[in-house]
Amino acid sequence: MIERTVRPLLPVDLGLTLGPMCRGRSDPTMRIEPSGVWRATRTPDGPVTTHIRARAGEGTVTMSAWGPGAAWAVEAFPRLVGADDAEDGFLAGAGVVGDLHRRLPGLRIGRSAAVVEALVPSILEQKVVGLEAKRSWAGLVRHLGEPAPGPGAGRLRVAPEPAVLAATPSWVFHRFGVERKRADTVRLACSYARRLEETVTMTPEDARRRLTALPGIGPWTAAEVGLVALGDADAVSVGDYHLPNQVAWALAGEPRADDARMLELLEPWPGHRGRVIRLITHGAGAAPRFGPRMPLRSIAGI
């Protein structure tokens, strides 16, 4: 076991900061608990189990790591929890965003540096209900992943290797509620895993260009990956079903909006539009709903 403690520049709320990396309560790769966050991931050096906890009174955050990837994980640990996120250039203002910023002082923009691990569940979330995608992700991880090392064994699993997903037939994805189109996108993306992982060293613009060069990866998916894996505080998930309504409701009291209106409302925060969206989704109420909810489907039963 390797352990490291850091003192972030600003307060860190682990639930708010690492929450976007967890795909629901059934995600086999993560557990967010009062005592800290357990996470299993795959690093360039191999799998690792990490346990992260914050000591609010001391202003420190500590990671313990087990497995072949432990040294890599503790080296990347400060960036994961946003310890260096100084919010440079971010002016919250005195309105709704300023109020949310004061209420959620520990929300940092971290970066997992695990591009494919963020990309695969984001592809699964394309054009489907969130619960449906979370079930698919959990099923694939349990079926194709591996037990986490150290104390993570028995409670966590490491996401499947990209090579395993790339070689998995589409009918296996179908068993977990994923139709052929999304399955083929996952398999194609995983076949280019090495090239995609290189985006961690690129500018946000270049990373988006490389991600969206793959068929099936559009601006929405690239933004989801950018915010989670690359620490892009300006990432905006254009094309989201609910997000424009939520942003417009929080910032302008408008129950309905399109992407153009959402981008217009976010203009006062250049470079930090993703941060503002995170504050809104965590701290502001949802926009009023006027129509029926999207139904859950049973693709596996078709």
Residues 6+ apart with CB under 8 A from 29: 22, 23, 39, 40, 41, 117, 141, 145, 156, 157, 158, 159
Are 163 and 128 within one domain? Answer: yes
Residue that is last in its domain, among 199, 229, 259 = 229
Mean pLDDT across the stretch 138-143?
97
Classify residue 81 as exposed, middle or buried by CB count within 10 Å of its CB (0-12, 13-18, 19+).
buried
> CA 76 to CA 132: how far, in whole Å?
31
Which CATH number characterizes residue 72's domain? 3.30.310.20
Are 247 and 223 within one domain? Answer: no
Has residue 293 been placed in a domain? Answer: no
Q: Which two tokens stand for residue 134?
A: 């979370």
Are 11 and 60 within one domain? Answer: yes
Has residue 184 been placed in a domain? Answer: yes
Mean pLDDT across the stretch 53-60?
90
- Residue 23 binned pLDDT confidence (cut-offs 50, 70, 90): very high
97 has pLDDT over 80: yes
298 has pLDDT over 80: no
Alpha helices in 81-167 (DSSP H): 96-103, 115-124, 130-144, 162-166
Are 157 and 82 within one domain? Answer: no
pLDDT (tens digit, 9 = 90+) per residue, 196-226?
999 999 999 999 999 999 999 999 999 999 9
Are 88 and 119 within one domain? Answer: no
Are 218 and 247 within one domain? Answer: no
Q: How many CB atoms lie within 10 A of CB 110?
A: 24
Are 224 and 124 within one domain? Answer: yes
Residues 6+ apart with CB under 8 A from 9: 83, 84, 85, 86
pLDDT (tens digit, 9 = 90+) per residue, 156-183?
999 999 999 999 999 999 999 999 999 9
Are 142 and 203 within one domain? Answer: yes
Has residue 174 been placed in a domain? Answer: yes
16 has pLDDT over 60: yes
* Cβ pair 223, 128 in contact under 8 A: no
* Cβ pair 245, 275 in contact under 8 A: no
Are 53 and 31 within one domain? Answer: yes
Number of domains in the chain: 3
Mean pLDDT computed over every residue of the chain = 94
At residue 299, the pLDDT reads 63
Are 206 and 271 within one domain? Answer: no
Which domain, by its residues, includes 254? Answer: 243-283
> CA 207 to CA 89: how far, in whole Å?
22
At residue 283, the pLDDT reads 92
- Residue 275 binned pLDDT confidence (cut-offs 50, 70, 90): very high
Whole-prediction pTM: 0.93
Has residue 289 been placed in a domain? Answer: no
Q: How many CB atoms lie within 10 A of CB 73?
A: 26
292 has pLDDT over 70: no
Has residue 199 been placed in a domain? Answer: yes
Has residue 106 been placed in a domain? Answer: no
Are 258 and 186 within one domain? Answer: no
* Cβ pair 49, 37 in contact under 8 A: no
Nearest to 293 by CA among 144, 129, 159: 129
Are 82 and 154 within one domain? Answer: no
Nearest to 185 by CA among 220, 156, 157: 220
Which CATH number characterizes residue 143's domain? 1.10.340.30
Eight-class DSSP state of 255: S
Has residue 100 been placed in a domain? Answer: no
Has residue 290 been placed in a domain? Answer: no
